[in-house]
Structure 1
Amino acid sequence: MIVVTGATGGLGGATVEHLLTRVPADRIGVSVRDAAKARHLADRGVRVRRGSYEDPAALRESFAGAEQVLLVSGNDPAADVAALHRGAIEAAVAAGAQRILYTSQQGAVPGNPYRPSEPHVATEAFLAESGVAWTALRNGAYGTLDQVLGPWRRTGRIAQPADGPVPYADRADVAEGTAVILAGDRSFDGPVTLTAPTAVTFDEVATIASGLTGRTIERVVVDDEQWVADQIASGAGEPMARLLLSWYQAARAGYFAEADPLLAELLGRQPRDIADRLAAEGTDSAR
């Protein structure tokens, strides 16, 4: 059995949907905070059990019978996420899982200035110490592009701090690739990276966006401290502004620069690239 955590969330839910096209429903289990929100899966034959990272005993029960467990990373800024992940790993080991897979982040290595990478680095270390086979899925950035590009559609300007090349991924592609790994016969040990086929800078994004929109999109480099001040003036707290700044600092230091061909190999096609994503998000914003 394959058990997926976070199956009512975006990445976990999409992964389960792709799994259902590849393996029988009775070989899939989900561990969710609220079983009622997973009724649509139970109705299709998926085993639904309640479990959360805050409740290791419930997790052990929800993982029972699992050959593989997919741990979707937590993102509660108020929690000790690494400690919660460690408890989930221990629960999976106690339940007898033969392999643990974890949704990590591209560039999850010591020294990365992007602070949210720290719990991923710690979790990968816990996996290495767990005594069971493990796979860390180092996913490329797949959040909405407006999070990193700013309100460029309205302003005509990508006015952000200095950046570096990033192979921005599409969440749907990452979920499908994850399902292929879970359902397949090929094992992946340790960290693997799932990204779009090409890394791009904001200068390149501006050129692509100009072609898509038919208007000139300008790239403007904003000084780090000025950018933080602008974020604070727009209502963001300084801690959050500086956390976001650390992403740009990591990008320009090259921590996200490498595009990996594995996702394309898993999908049997080229993953969606930055042009595809800009076009899709533009369609969504116009609705």
Structure 2
Amino acid sequence: MIIVTGATGALNGFTVEHLLQRIAPSDIGVSVRNPDRAQHLADQGVRVRQGSYDDPDALRHSFADAEQVLLVSSSDVTADVITQHRTAIDAAVEAGAQRILYTSALGTSFNSPYPPLAIHAATEQHLAESGVSWTALRNGFYGDLGDLLGPWQATGTIAKPADGPFSWIDRRDAGEAAAAILTNASSLDGPVNLTLPSPVTLTDFATHAAELSGHPVERIAVEDEEWIAGEVANGVPEAAARFTLTMFQATRSGHFAHPDPTLSRLLGRPPRTISDQLREQMVRTE
């Protein structure tokens, strides 16, 4: 059985959708904090059990009979995330899982200006010490394009701190790739980079946004402290703004500049481009 955590969220929700296209529902289980939100999966024959990264007993129960467990990285900003991840890994091992997969991030390192990458590095280290086979899905960046680019459709500008090359992938592609790895007879071991064929910059986003909208879109590089001050003036807590700034700083130092063909190979097609993603954002905001 394949057990997937975070299956009511966007990323691993897509993974379960693609697993259902590949294997029988009876071979899939999900471990979720609120089983009521996974009723649509139970209705399709997926095993649904309650589990929380803060409750080892519940995790062991929800991981029972697992051959493979896919762990989504914790999104609880108030928690000791590294401890949560270790708890989940240990529970999967104790439940008898033969392989553990984890949604990590491209550029994972203990020496990065972007704090989440050190958390992923610590988690990967614990996976390597777990005694079972493991795979770290080092996804490129994904999320809300509005947060990344700002209100470019209204302003005609992408006014953000200076950036460097990075990979912005679609969650649907990341979820599909995870399902492919989970159901592949020859599993991928250790870290696996899942990126666009070529990295992009915010200048690339501006170019494609202008082409799609038919209106000029200017990329404006704002000085770091000036950008922080503007965010705070708009009601963003300074700590949150400085956290976001570290992502831009990490792109400048080349942490996310390395392309990899693995995502395209797993999908059997090119991943969705930034133009594809921008086009869908424009449709949603019309």
In 2, Cα distance between equivalents of 1:256 and 1:167:
7
State whether structure 2 residue 146 is matched by structure 1 residue 146.
yes
Partner of 2:202: 202
User: SS of the residue aligned with 1:135?
Assistant: strand
Partner of 1:9: 9
Q: Which amino acid aligns with 1:93?
A: V
Per-residue deviation, residues 66-120 of structure 1 (Å, max 9, x unmatched): 0000001101111000100000000000000000000001111121111122211
User: SS of the residue aligned with 2:12?
Assistant: helix
Partner of 1:217: 217
In 2, Cα distance between equivalents of 1:259 and 1:73:
22
State whether structure 2 residue 31 is matched by structure 1 residue 36.
no
State whether structure 2 residue 245 is matched by structure 1 residue 245.
yes
State whether structure 2 residue 79 is matched by structure 1 residue 79.
yes
- Asked whether the 8 Å contact 1:198–1:273 carries over to 2, the reply is no
Q: Which amino acid aligns with 2:178?
A: T
Per-residue deviation, residues 169-222 of structure 1 (Å, max 9, x unmatched): 000011001101111112111100111222111122211111111111011110
State whether structure 2 residue 62 is matched by structure 1 residue 62.
yes
RMSD: 0.8
Partner of 2:47: 47
Q: Which runs of 5+ in 1 are unaligned?
A: none
State whether structure 2 residue 101 is matched by structure 1 residue 95.
no
Deviation at 1:54, TM superposition (A): 0.7
State whether structure 2 residue 22 is matched by structure 1 residue 22.
yes
Q: Which runs of 5+ in 2 are unaligned?
A: none
Query: Which portions of structure 1, spanning 4 or more consecutive aligned residues, are displaced by more than 6 angstroms?
Result: none
- Asked whether the 8 Å contact 1:197–1:273 carries over to 2, the reply is no
Q: Which amino acid aligns with 1:278?
A: L
| Aligned 1:94-173 pairs, distance under 5 A | 94-173=94-173
In 1, Cα distance between equivalents of 2:110 and 2:116:
12
User: SS of the residue aligned with 1:102?
Assistant: strand
Deviation at 1:251, TM superposition (A): 0.8
User: SS of the residue aligned with 1:137?
Assistant: strand
User: SS of the residue aligned with 2:270?
Assistant: coil
In 1, Cα distance between equivalents of 2:40 and 2:212:
38
User: SS of the residue aligned with 2:23?
Assistant: coil
Deviation at 1:260, TM superposition (A): 1.3
TM-score, scaled to structure 2: 0.98
In 2, Cα distance between equivalents of 1:203 and 1:33:
40
User: SS of the residue aligned with 1:21?
Assistant: helix
User: SS of the residue aligned with 1:216?
Assistant: coil
In 1, Cα distance between equivalents of 2:121 and 2:14:
25
Q: Which amino acid aligns with 2:278?
A: L
**Greater alpha carbon shift after TM alignment, 128-137 vs 141-150:** 141-150
TM-score, scaled to structure 1: 0.98
Q: Which amino acid aligns with 1:106?
A: L
Deviation at 1:250, TM superposition (A): 0.5
In 2, Cα distance between equivalents of 1:202 and 1:27:
42
In 2, Cα distance between equivalents of 1:220 and 1:106:
26
